[in-house]
Every structure is written in C-alpha cells, then in structure tokens.
Amino acid sequence: MRAIDLHTHSNNSDGTFTVKELMDYAYKKDLAAIALTDHDTVKGLDEAISYAEKHCPGLEVIPGVEVSTVNEGKDCHIVGLYINHHDEAFLNRLKELHDVRERRNVEIAANLHNIAGFDFTYEDVQKEFPGAVITRAHFAKYLLDKGYVGSWQEAFDRYIGEGKPCFVPPNRIDPETGVRYILDAGGVPVLAHPILYHLSDEKLEALVSRLKDAGLIGIEAIYSTYDSRDERQIKDLAKKYDLLISGGSDFHGKNKPKIDLGSGMGKLFIPEDLLDAIKAARG
C-alpha cells in the first residue's frame, strides 16, 4: 500500500518549497496523494492540481487549507480537506483571516523595532517573501538572514515566541467557526496535531467534544512528532467521538528540516486507504 500525506505547506505560506517543487517531490517519493494545506490561503491549489495532472501521473492532489484559530488564547489549527477552493464566500472568509494576520504582523514588526531595536519595517519583511502569507516563521528567517539572531529557534526564544517581549497574541476566530467555514466550503474539517496544544487529557477531550458538536469530521491521529502513546490517545478519541483518522507530516521544507514529506521523522506512514472514508465525508 502506498503512502499519502494530508498536511503539507508550500512557500505560499511558511514552507520553503514552491508548489511545483512540492509536487515533484511527492511524485519522487511515490505518494498516492498529497494535500496542500497552506495557512489561511488556497493560492497554490490551482497550480498544484494542474501541474500534477501534467507531470505527476498517479499522484492525487487534494485541495486543502489550514485555518488558524484560537482556543482559550492559544493557537488551534483546523485542516480542511477536499474544500471547494473557488467558493466565493470561503475566499472572502480567508481574506478576513489574512487581514487579521496582517494587522498582527504589523504589530510584531513594530515591537521588533521599538522593543528589540532592530532597524527594519514590516514592508522589508514582505519584500523578502513576495506573495507569501507571512507568519512568525518568516520573521524568524528574516532575523536569521539579516544577522539579528544566530538561529531560527533563537528568534522565537528571545523575541517572538509566546510570552517573549515582541510576541503579539493572535486575535483569531474560534475553532468552531473554523470548522463551520470548512464545512460551508464542502470540505472535511480535521483537528490538526492536537498533541501539540499541550492540553491536559481532560481539556483535550473537552475540545474534541465541542468541535464534534460543531461538525468536526476528522482528527490528525498520525503525525510526524507523535510517539506511540500519542497516536494511541488520539485514535482512542477518534473512536469515542466517531471521528475519521487523518494524518500528515506537516512538511515545511527547510523550515522544519527534521521532518520529511510523507515519512516525517523517519517512522511516519499514512496509508492511502484512509482516503476512502474522507472522500465519502465530503460535502
């Protein structure tokens, strides 16, 4: 059985591979399917689909997105699979999310100038990453490339990580709204990497229960950084709440150098037969 990868990023958000490079790499790795799930944008999907049809026979490209939300003041991401990425209402909603992100980015840049004393503007950062949805990962890379920090991680640890001097709390929609956006676009909403939220077992189950009530269909039970206990915990939640199993590497290219497409940190395997139920759940 061939592998699939249902959580990946291109340089349209915070990945480093172009769409074409990502599709070529998926084809080289003999993936049966890849979902392009950039943060709050569907910009690369038409290119990915058309390119793969011409150059990557046997590779299914799943139109996807990763919607940024906030749960109790913390980041919480909802992946959408098989979305209608031409739906006008959905595109307008993504534009609203983009505008919120942009306002936050302007504040982060101002803090880096006023608090850390760095001599650049948000426009300077944008010029380095034309066309991308700017995230804190882009700020980290900019700081590293310009010599303000010695590593990507130092940028987060000293300046832009949660609780650090230049951090700006996100002002985003709640995860229930993210689920609804994806459902309205005909997609399958999946709770992304729940272990990464570092919630207690009780709070994690409460979140899953709430989102199930809101229409959540799947949960990311197979993920690059999970150990066997993590995977078992999420699969148990999936069974209890009648959720479909999804999985992905969360590939970002050089921005997450230890995570490879399709295989994560070396042991990841997402079987293609998971797609049958996900396809059947499409709106």
Structural domains in the chain? 4-82+178-280 (3.20.20.140)
Indicate the pTM of the whole model. 0.93
If one counts every other C-beta atom within 10 angstroms of the C-beta of residue 85, the result is: 23
pLDDT tens, residue by residue, 85-95: 999 999 999 99
Chain position carrying tokens 């832009």: 160
pLDDT tens, residue by residue, 206-264: 999 999 999 999 999 999 999 999 999 999 999 999 999 999 999 999 989 999 999 99
Quote the CA–CA distance of 155 and 137 in Å, as a whole number: 9
Residue of 206, 278, 256, 252 whose CA lies nearest to 21: 252
The distance between the two most distant Cα atoms of the chain, rounded to a whole number of Å, is 54
Q: Can you read off the two tokens belonging to residue 134?
A: 């700017």
Residue 227 vs residues 77, 87, 190, 231, 232: alpha-carbon distances, Å = 20, 37, 20, 6, 9
pLDDT band at 132 (very low <50, low <70, confident <90, very high): confident
* CB 187, CB 83: distance < 8 Å: yes
Quote the CA–CA distance of 46 and 48 in Å, as a whole number: 5
Q: Which helix (H) or strand (E) holds 5?
A: strand 4-8
Q: Residue 171: pLDDT above 90?
A: no
Q: What's the DSSP call for residue 17?
A: S
